[in-house]
Amino acid sequence: MPTLHQRQQQQSNPTKFPISPRFYGVQPRSISLVSSTGLLILLFLMILFGILFPWLGLPKSLFSGNNSSLSKWKDYTLAQAVAFVGKNGGTVIVCAVSKPYLPFLSNWVISISRQKHQDKVLVIAEDYATLYEVNRRWPGHAVLVPPAPDSQTAHKFGSQGFFNFTSRRPQHLLQILELGFNALYNDVDMVWMADPFPYFKGNHDVYFTDDMAAVKPPNHSHDLPAPGKKGRTYICSCMIFLRPTPGAKLVMKKWIEELQVQPWSTKTKTNDQPAFNWALNKTAGQVDLYLLPQTGFPSGGLYFKNQTWVDETKGKHVIIHNNYITGFDKKIKRFRDFGLWLVDDHAHESPLGGL
């Protein structure tokens, strides 16, 4: 038992109190984020913030790293999109794309970027995946006009989904014209070799290309060609330039009517092109139509299958259409074979990058 004097000394010098052997050599511990405790705390904080920050009004961008929520594009209207991309020059370069065609969209935009017209491009997305992906990379350049067709069938040529996809085209174009803008429509299995705008000479209502593979004379007529065996012309509905004139609007309205008269069926398995030709044929006397030169705007049946013609017209090609062939892989291979698949080595030239 300590004496009274010893107890007084211990009280005046507390560091000499006996220390339990359990604390010898033990240092203060810090919680590491890589430890199980640290991970549990981090997970708790993430859940806590996930529950609280919507109520606190904090911006999602603080947590997502994205400056704007993609969900806002669901409310983005065609009128807003047209005003955005058409503000410089009053022309909109428009295409309609579903998710399976994103690589072709990227390839097409690269070729347009080389002609310095990419700012005019508007992608009409036919599914929400396309809407969000394009606007994530290139804000404001994609819009979806509800309802979106079934993205699983829209890209299959000859299917009802493909018809539903293509039959919306004249409605989109008519709305752009009603807003007072010029519209240049392209399918995205095209590549620009030169600037097409100098070829839209004069003040015609509708400019288009022949879908035939037969070679025309260099100085061929720019009038609507004569009807073929089916009683109508064979104009391509995949490359059209329209001015916002009453005549161009009339053709779009007639195109819409013809699509309603000749809907898709298991027997006909039609697409939008026959209806477009009927619309041209039935309005030809009321509308100023202009057939673009074949040397500049050849069909795929001519450009990819007549090397002699290609050599003879070298330097005059403007937009090449990879039609007269079906299937993604086959189209990509043919583009590669002719040095027109730009995505592999030139994705950096496009605001979309390599989709």
Judge contact between 222 and 271, C-beta under 8 A: no
CA angle 327, 123, 323 (to 5 degrees): 30
How many residues appear in the chain?
355
Cβ neighbours of residue 262 closer than 8 Å, sequence gap 6 or more: 268, 270, 274, 275, 278
> Distance between CA atoms of 73 and 143, rounded to whole angstroms?
7
Would you tell me the crossing angle of helices 246-261 and 272-283 to the nearest 10 degrees?
130
Residue 106 has pLDDT above 60, yes or no: yes
Residue 264: per-residue pLDDT: 46
286-306 tens-digit pLDDT: 999 999 999 999 999 999 999
Name all domains of the chain by residue range, CATH numbers in brackets: 70-349 (3.90.550.10)
127-184 tens-digit pLDDT: 999 999 999 999 999 999 988 766 544 455 544 455 555 678 999 999 999 999 999 9
Q: What is the DSSP letter of 172?
A: H
Residue 147: per-residue pLDDT: 81
> Distance between CA atoms of 14 and 239, rounded to whole angstroms?
93
49-69 tens-digit pLDDT: 554 444 343 333 333 334 456
Residue 341 has pLDDT above 70, yes or no: yes
235-252 tens-digit pLDDT: 999 999 999 999 999 999
- The position carrying tokens 């994530």 is 136
